[in-house]
Structure 1
């Protein structure tokens, strides 16, 4: 962080910025755990399909030894891979208890650098930060309530409905997260508009850095596109079960979302 920025920070901000730096390695761990988590869900889906295929094959060879094929998604969710995936998911939820720190730091940087930013990008970023902060706060409350750390009677009256208060709190949190993902699409389209204006209308010279950003722009679409079906499903806009959504789609989308970052982290370990 530049010296000028350090001077501008008050004592509480400086403490939070230092805590954020301390917790930065958990971001890399979170990406790896995300890929592992959704990879397990994908394995659970294929495991269930293999189970039913094996049953059908045995029914042709030795009908008396064939076992009953399990229906729908029930068999995938009962797979050992899915159970291990739930354990990893809990680890990710625990890591995200500190997720408000980087969001706060990002908001503070937005406030400081807002004058030099494109006004539309600034508004989109601020809205996205607000949505992600809402998601993280509600998810933390729901998780700690679920684990018995917080009392269930606290904010429960705000989240009454079918499925229980904690489940509804998770649902509202995921809706905020889903809307935050939508902000990524708005940001990418605005960035494309700015680049197009400079390149084709103003005939400005494109620097090497801007050219690299243009290449990165295409990669930046992958993550929100991958999270989109998962966010829609978890948000419960169409009830508890989204038509056509299963553990296989969830696993494939989740792996795709963080696969590139995980691959980059793995590549960085070559020099270790």
Structure 2
């Protein structure tokens, strides 16, 4: 009996070790790519913001109960009609420390994501170059992609300037005055990119997913094999279309929220910021995870 339990335990440990090894090896392949790093950081960042919002809510409820208990005790010592006001410092607790740590980690990850975008203008140049050498066959898509290249370039330039000014690298009164304004303007261009991406996706769907990423049309070859290839290729593009659509839908409310100096114009709580941001992060992470899967 003991020997059988030992064998089962040994088998379970071996299976766990094998699965853990496979997971870590796969994660290493994901983190070896820039897209994988961005997907992991994006998902982690907005997950932390969501967790922080929930922890903050729990902490607020705990403080409310504490304040109510203090008020109840104080009321018993007062004469009828007598009132008093008091200000107390919130007590430190494990929950408050965890809440602060979560927010600090989320801000750190977010700051690192800003830093890694400093050289994204080079990526945008490569995107523009590819679009120039191999443009989409559809005229509408060509215009939309070039418009995206333009607004993305302005967005990244403004964000880089604002970020470097916030870190004290670009110094002077003029940069201090520009910093907040440039962050807002950069988000407006990000919003424009998001809208253009939505239009591009609608056009791709209108073309039945054939006019995108070099997909062929059935007219290029009339034999059965070619038609089968077109169908399979279009199905792959259709799945990618849905992924891109959900990711873009997640960014839209966030870019609207951040496009105003007064965020109360488009109010979004930290909980919803976390949820909306997690959506594109999870989509990106799933795509990279599939791309790095071993054959």
TM range (shorter): 0.7 to 0.9
Equivalence for 2:82: none
Query: Could you say if the C-alpha distance between residues 247 and 207 of structure 1 is closer, same or farther in structure 2, counting changes exceeding 3 Å?
Result: same
Query: Could you say if the C-alpha distance between residues 265 and 188 of structure 1 is closer, same or farther in structure 2, counting changes exceeding 3 Å?
Result: closer
Correspondences of 1:98-247 after superposition (within 5 Å): 98-114=119-135, 117-152=137-172, 156=175, 164-195=177-208, 205=227, 206-236=230-260, 239-247=262-270
Equivalence for 1:258: 281
Question: TM (normalized to structure 2)?
Answer: 0.68
Indicate the SS of the match to 2:140. Answer: helix
1:196-220 deviations in Å (ceiling 9; x for gaps): 899xxx9975521112212322222
Deviation (angstroms), 1:269: 7.2
Structure 1: gaps spanning 5 or more residues: 1-23, 70-74, 157-162
Indicate the SS of the match to 2:186. Answer: helix
Alignment equivalent of 1:85, drawn from 103, 106, 114: 106
State the alpha-carbon separation in 1 of the partners of residues 270 and 201 from structure 2: 29
Query: Could you say if the C-alpha distance between residues 215 and 263 of structure 1 is closer, same or farther in structure 2, counting changes exceeding 3 Å?
Result: closer
- Tell which deviates more after alignment, 163-172 or 134-143: 163-172
Query: Could you say what the CA RMSD is over the residues aligned between the two structures, in angstroms?
Result: 3.2
Deviation (angstroms), 1:247: 0.6
State the alpha-carbon separation in 1 of the partners of residues 286 and 89 from structure 2: 40
Indicate the SS of the match to 1:241. Answer: helix
State the alpha-carbon separation in 1 of the partners of residues 66 and 153 from structure 2: 52
Contact 1:47-1:79 at 8 Å conserved across structures:
no
Question: TM (normalized to structure 1)?
Answer: 0.73
Contact 1:139-1:169 at 8 Å conserved across structures:
yes
Structure 2: gaps spanning 5 or more residues: 1-31, 75-87, 91-95, 212-216, 220-226
Contact 2:250-2:277 at 8 Å conserved across structures:
yes
State the alpha-carbon separation in 1 of the partners of residues 35 and 292 from structure 2: 16
Query: Could you say if the C-alpha distance between residues 33 and 196 of structure 1 is closer, same or farther in structure 2, counting changes exceeding 3 Å?
Result: closer
State the alpha-carbon separation in 2 of the partners of residues 259 and 192 from structure 1: 22
Deviation (angstroms), 1:244: 3.7
Deviation (angstroms), 1:127: 0.4
State the alpha-carbon separation in 2 of the partners of residues 106 and 45 from structure 1: 37
Give the number of equivalent residue pairs: 228
Deviation (angstroms), 1:246: 0.9
Equivalence for 1:14: none
State the alpha-carbon separation in 2 of the partners of residues 119 and 266 from structure 1: 33
- Larger gyration radius, structure 1 or structure 2: 2
Indicate the SS of the match to 1:221. Answer: helix
Contact 1:139-1:173 at 8 Å conserved across structures:
yes
